Chains A and B, each alone.
Chain A
């Protein structure tokens, strides 16, 4: 006990130094930040402790190399978890004889080998390509209970923001910072500003969490969140599943934000209970008591606030090459002239040229050759269920050249198979793949050919993102499924009505009634 008191005393001394006490009511972000300050520097930056570090093959090789050259070691391999995801082909990984199949691309193979060697040399826990738990880092972290409320989690990937769905501060970093975390288990950061994004109301039939985050990005713009950490608040999110919140938090970076946070609630606690790396027994009870304090105090000040009415959100799709280029599926391609700002006007004109779209064209008339259901944004079991509900008993349209379903992890894949989702997709003409980042980013064999379009559940519609000249339309899993069935961008509500599907088969899994 004496030791505990001494620690507590030491902690309060440290926190008084961080200036937290003087600021009055604190935001959730403040609380997580304050609890992780190792040291405040005179120049305004702080040394922040990193509780969890996810490592993948693309952003880590040069970091490990840097450590080796400087003669440094990994400080806390026990707080680190590694797996391959970006580069890994999503085709079969073992042959009929059970033997491991080689990765054909020599550069990818070398990078994947480098990760395996680096984690072996540093004793970092590792899910290799054939481990049942392997998957996309941002799917696996929450799924394993590696991600916990109130923690600071870093990863050399911008979509680390996703972990904010569980109330963890997920910080995306570059390779130099990966090296810094490996060597010191800390990051030297400046405190971001706080932004509240409030969404209230029960979204309409067929509206998915993806539509909610696209609406948010459209509203605040692709740079609206720069320098800020977003806290998502409001009845729409209270009623949203944890997996839905993962989709929302994931794309915080597409609004320019440093991170996105949800105050953890009973849904999060129920989601985490029993996960392999989550606490259990008495430790679980102690954790729970602390996690329940993780919310912004009444009266906490946000530097910026935005409010959105969920009932006004429609199933949506992007038309351009920035995630802020969003229209309802029932809408039309905007005219560049409709943008007042000359820079935005020029960008819109360039986007339309790249996307081969004309102002005024109906979004529902846009033909699609590729379908991608996957990525760290939308590859969890609820996403696959929502897409399968639309696909069930139907066929992929003749004009669709490739239709991929890529589960976010080996466990999601198995769960999908246990529920028969793989059969629904395969019978309709989809390919059911092994877990990985796949066609989100064009650095493994899953790419979109130049000039072709892809209806994609991923997070970026940048020029060339899915391959040079590829044209990407972002949308929800159910909307991607609808596009596959019709061979063009399609209002999923039409297909749902045809099939006599109600809320219970569709939206409810991710978006409950808010009672608002």
Chain B
């Protein structure tokens, strides 16, 4: 699934340190499928009747705006699967956990970091009813008359825009991998096998 531009409503979540247990509880990790996790997304926050996910003003949003350290904690890709399943295609945050950001990109979800004051502006504007436009091609977020440029890793951008199969790309380098394996066998033979020795 490719992603170039996403426009419309956004969930103004805010908060710092939204962890992946909060995004999808461990109870949901017993599945052996990637599908259907949207039903469990953000369950911990949905206890609060005033939560943004059940507010009709934001229903069906494809963009989520959060504070610092979004997606911290467990490496569970189920968090990215759950968000993609509930229709979220873009997460904008002050900072993002490295593992969560990687998982998001691999599931067609764009993770964008913006400075705290830009995120504060977006939260205010969206709470006031404004829509947001995220343009991956132009690397810009537009909202309430302002435009914020964002940086993004070139490879991730290309993967999202072109919907590339990363494993196929890497396997095209199979010779390079084999050459590395050959070097390890000579330079560090103790790493070349992991089995029981005796």
Closest B residue, CB atoms, query A64:
B32
In this assembly, does A197 line the interface, its C-beta being within 8 Å of a C-beta of chain B?
Answer: no
In this assembly, does B146 line the interface, its C-beta being within 8 Å of a C-beta of chain A?
Answer: no
In this assembly, does B139 line the interface, its C-beta being within 8 Å of a C-beta of chain A?
Answer: no
A223 touches B27 (CB 8 A): no
A276 touches B197 (CB 8 A): yes
A222 touches B22 (CB 8 A): no
Report which of B31, B73, B179, B184 forms a contact with A460, defined as CB distance below 8 A.
B73
- Chain A residues with Cβ below 8 Å from B67 are 343
Interface-facing stretch out of B1-9, B127-135, B153-161: B153-161
Cα separation A353 to B162 with both chains bound (whole Å): 45
| In the complex with contacts A38-B180, A43-B158, A343-B195 CB distance below 8 A | no
- Chain B residues with Cβ below 8 Å from A78 are 193-195
Q: Chain B nearest CB: distance from A319 CB in Å?
A: 15
A39 touches B173 (CB 8 A): yes
- Chain B residues with Cβ below 8 Å from A227 are 98
B154 touches A44 (CB 8 A): yes
- Chain A residues with Cβ below 8 Å from B96 are 226
B197 touches A188 (CB 8 A): no
| In the complex with contacts A186-B177, A226-B95, A177-B106 CB distance below 8 A | yes
Closest A residue, CB atoms, query B188:
A290
| In the complex with contacts A61-B32, A175-B77, A347-B15, A180-B190 CB distance below 8 A | no
Report which of B75, B171, B186, B191 forms a contact with A4, defined as CB distance below 8 A.
B186
A58 touches B73 (CB 8 A): no
Q: Chain A nearest CB: distance from B191 CB in Å?
A: 5
A125 touches B195 (CB 8 A): yes
- Chain B residues with Cβ below 8 Å from A235 are none
B167 touches A173 (CB 8 A): no
| In the complex with contacts A59-B75, A81-B194, A180-B170, A38-B176 CB distance below 8 A | yes
Report which of B15, B73, B154, B197 forms a contact with A279, defined as CB distance below 8 A.
B197
A108 touches B30 (CB 8 A): yes
Report which of B22, B27, B189 forms a contact with A442, defined as CB distance below 8 A.
B27
- Chain B residues with Cβ below 8 Å from A222 are 17, 69, 72
Q: Chain B nearest CB: distance from A54 CB in Å?
A: 10
B44 touches A343 (CB 8 A): no
- Chain A residues with Cβ below 8 Å from B59 are none
- Chain B residues with Cβ below 8 Å from A468 are 25, 44
Residue interface mask A94-127, B partner, CB < 8 A = 1:
0000000000010110110010000000000100
In this assembly, does A509 line the interface, its C-beta being within 8 Å of a C-beta of chain B?
Answer: no
Q: Chain A nearest CB: distance from B62 CB in Å?
A: 21
- Chain A residues with Cβ below 8 Å from B75 are 59, 156-158, 172-174
In this assembly, does B182 line the interface, its C-beta being within 8 Å of a C-beta of chain A?
Answer: yes
- Chain A residues with Cβ below 8 Å from B74 are 157-158, 441, 460
- Chain B residues with Cβ below 8 Å from A344 are 16
- Chain B residues with Cβ below 8 Å from A75 are 177
In this assembly, does B19 line the interface, its C-beta being within 8 Å of a C-beta of chain A?
Answer: yes
Closest A residue, CB atoms, query B197:
A280
Residue interface mask B30-69, A partner, CB < 8 A = 1:
1111100000000010000000000000000000000111
| In the complex with contacts A223-B72, A256-B97, A343-B68, A179-B167 CB distance below 8 A | yes
Interface residues of chain B, those whose CB is within 8 Å of chain A, are 14-17, 19, 21-22, 25-27, 29-34, 44, 67-69, 72-77, 80, 95-99, 102-103, 106-107, 153-155, 158, 166-167, 169-171, 173-174, 176-177, 179-184, 186-191, 193-198
12 contacts between A and B (CB under 8 A): A4-B186, A7-B187, A38-B176, A44-B155, A47-B177, A108-B30, A158-B99, A184-B171, A226-B96, A226-B97, A283-B189, A344-B16
Interface residues of chain A, those whose CB is within 8 Å of chain B, are 3-4, 7-8, 10-11, 36, 38-39, 41, 43-45, 47, 49, 51-52, 58-59, 61-62, 65, 70, 72, 75, 78-81, 86-87, 105, 107-108, 110-111, 114, 125, 146, 148, 150-151, 156-158, 172-177, 179-180, 183-186, 188, 190, 192, 222-223, 226-227, 253, 256, 258, 276-280, 283-284, 286-287, 290, 322, 343-344, 346-347, 441-443, 460, 462-465, 468
